[in-house]
Chains A and B, each alone.
Chain A
Amino acid sequence: MIVIGESIHVISPRVKAALEGRDSKTLQNLAVSQVENGADVLDLNIGPQRREGHQIMPWLVDAIQDVVDVPLCLDTTNAAAMEAGLKRCKRPPIINSTDATETRMSTMMPLAARYNASLIALALGSTGLPNTAEARLEIVMASILPAAEQYGLSTENLYLDPLVLTVNGMQDQVVQAIMAVDYFKQVAVPSPKTTCGISNVSNSIPAENRPLLNQVFIAMMLGAGLASGIMNALDKDLIWVIRTVESRDTSTPRGRLYVALADAVAAGEEFQVEPSMLENPETWDIAKTINILYNRQIYAHSYLSL
């Protein structure tokens, strides 16, 4: 799985201040630590930045490329900022993102084609949140793929994003997003790539609960064959889950459970949590989280204490 590090994001007060103050050192440090921890690509989210985006994005791209040699994923709705950033990228970049509306696709798809960039396309149209895997597939088939063809964007350069919603309130949607990834791989030849916001699954959840939910979720997404994920690359345990599942390292109880979980998803089966997994002090927390992500138990912030 390609790890796209999400930590350079304007939502972080530290990043916001650094962008405003053109403090390249802080941002470069964040870039270096993510890459050292295992990020293959860095997402650069500057927000819309209506006034200065076209200056901030190229400045940021230059600053990051001064310290790391990885592809960049440029993340802004501001088309001028996007284009200014794309011009500076040394490696083929990723555009993050378009949804499935004509307005956004007609802006971002020509940019991607012109600059040989890949494009993340969200399975989100103008008619509200899709609530099944099939609805997500329908958006891809009816809107995203035809538009990509129209704008000359090869499907290999598409990263289809199933739109991950938080388990806190949209609990039934977790499995739908996972199933959608499996569908997306089959919509074209050659296959489009897939990606998603891993941390979205734990949005609006207290910080201490988030890592485990993200970790179990990524194991399931690995099983579904997700090609890349936008995630907290500074979370060493999350990177460990990826490495463990990918190398099929079953030498630890946690590793065995994560590999078994990913295998079940890959086989299109619903993973069953055994009582022994809930009793084992090494795996009980993963087992409870699996039941939450499968929507077998209603999520509550204190679910681990039950």
Chain B
Amino acid sequence: MPAILVPTEKWAGKVREVTLGGDSRKKVVVGGETTLPFLHFDGVIPHAPAIAIDVEDVAPQNWSPVLGAVWGDVMREGLAAWARKAVEAGADMVALTLRSADPDMGNTGPAEAVEAVKKVLAAVDVPLIVYGPGIAAKDNEVLVAVSDAFAGKRLALGLCEDKNYRTIVATCMANGHIVIANSPIDINLAKQLNILITDMDMPGDRILMDPTTGALGYGLEYTYSVMERLRVAALLGDSMTAMPMILNPGREGWRFKEAKTRDGVPTQWGDLEGRGIAWETTTAIAQLQAGADILVMRHPKAVGLVKRAIASLMATNY
């Protein structure tokens, strides 16, 4: 039987490799692809996409009851227990949100932020992503303190947006951290922010790109089409779109009624637990296929399913 010749694409570009963690702790490298997701016959995919699991420094008020059932005990026990359980659930990294710095959630300051990061770093040895509360002024305040206190730990700090990028980039540069550049599902702004950040002399291999996650049913197709275009541009040689991408299918997948509401929904929707897990998993897998390098997730079962998908897709003989 004649051999079938698989047509291949030779790309000129390559996604940058970004290393998180290290410095006597575990490190994780993401990026480095020379082809579209999982097309091993076209090029090289040196690192499997990584999973981070969300933890917060105060017990969240509005998470789905399904997540409450899984994480409730460690939410009460404290941040260290939560982080440990996240790693047991399969997290390659932990993503800590400094929620208590939100003016409506306690308005804590730099000292509490540093304390929270210290707890997580002491509890687990995987790389750490640290998000501010999502309010530019407070993000700057707490992230700068964390950056200074943990210089050299190669934390990923975010979000860094066009409004506040200078402060976050400057502190990441000074202390050897990674910056998470977030743009609002817009390919042109994503590229522009990377240009602005590298114009400050931030090395390109210390930037992760967050193109903003839309969940299944809530803009997923916008997200993945922007991701695909960014990735194709990167592979065509556009160095300002060639940063690894980080997405938040956990946060977004559990935000909406499909993943939160048990009662008063059509019976065909099925039980809430299965539905919520499916929502997060589907969102994550679509983003994986569009080029996500880091997925920040929430439910251990969803994490398990996505890790299984990654393992099969990374097996070059599938």
Interface string of A277-306 (1 = CB under 8 A from B): 000000000000000000001111110011
Interface string of A150-187 (1 = CB under 8 A from B): 00000000000000000011010000000000000000
Query: Is residue B240 within 8 Å, beta carbon to beta carbon, of the partner chain?
Result: yes
- Structural contact, A300 and B199, CB atoms closer than 8 A: no
Question: Using a Cβ–Cβ cut-off of 8 Å, how many residues does chain A contribute to the interface with B?
Answer: 11
Query: Of all chain A residues, which has the CB nearest B189?
Result: A300
Q: Residues of A contacting B192 with CB < 8 Å?
A: 300-302
- Structural contact, A298 and B195, CB atoms closer than 8 A: no
Give the complex CA separation of A302 and B188 in angstroms: 10
- Structural contact, A300 and B191, CB atoms closer than 8 A: yes
- Structural contact, A299 and B188, CB atoms closer than 8 A: yes
CB distance from A171 to the nearest CB of B (A): 8
- Structural contact, A298 and B188, CB atoms closer than 8 A: yes
Q: Residues of A contacting B238 with CB < 8 Å?
A: 297-298
Q: Residues of A contacting B230 with CB < 8 Å?
A: 298
Q: Residues of A contacting B187 with CB < 8 Å?
A: 298
* Main SS class of interface, A: loop
Give the complex CA separation of A163 and B72 in angstroms: 55
Query: Is residue B47 within 8 Å, beta carbon to beta carbon, of the partner chain?
Result: no
Query: Of all chain A residues, which has the CB nearest B234?
Result: A298
Give the complex CA separation of A168 and B229 in angstroms: 14
Q: Residues of B contacting A305 with CB < 8 Å?
A: 195, 199
Output the residue of B192, B199, B233 with the most chain A CB within 10 A.
Answer: B192
Partner of A306, one of B188, B189, B195, B229: B195
Give the complex CA separation of A305 and B191 in angstroms: 12
- Structural contact, A306 and B186, CB atoms closer than 8 A: no
- Structural contact, B229 and A298, CB atoms closer than 8 A: yes
Given A168-B188, A169-B188, is A302 in contact with B195 using a C-beta cutoff of 8 Å?
A: yes
- Structural contact, A302 and B199, CB atoms closer than 8 A: yes
Q: Residues of B contacting A306 with CB < 8 Å?
A: 195, 240
Give the complex CA separation of A298 and B193 in angstroms: 13
Can you list 25 A-B contacts (CB < 8 A)?
A: A168-B188, A169-B186, A297-B233, A297-B238, A298-B188, A298-B191, A298-B229, A298-B230, A298-B233, A298-B238, A298-B240, A299-B188, A299-B191, A300-B189, A300-B191, A300-B192, A300-B195, A301-B188, A301-B192, A302-B195, A302-B196, A305-B195, A305-B199, A306-B195, A306-B240
9 smallest CB-CB distances across A and B, nearest first, come from A300-B192, A300-B191, A302-B195, A298-B233, A298-B191, A301-B192, A299-B188, A168-B188, A300-B188
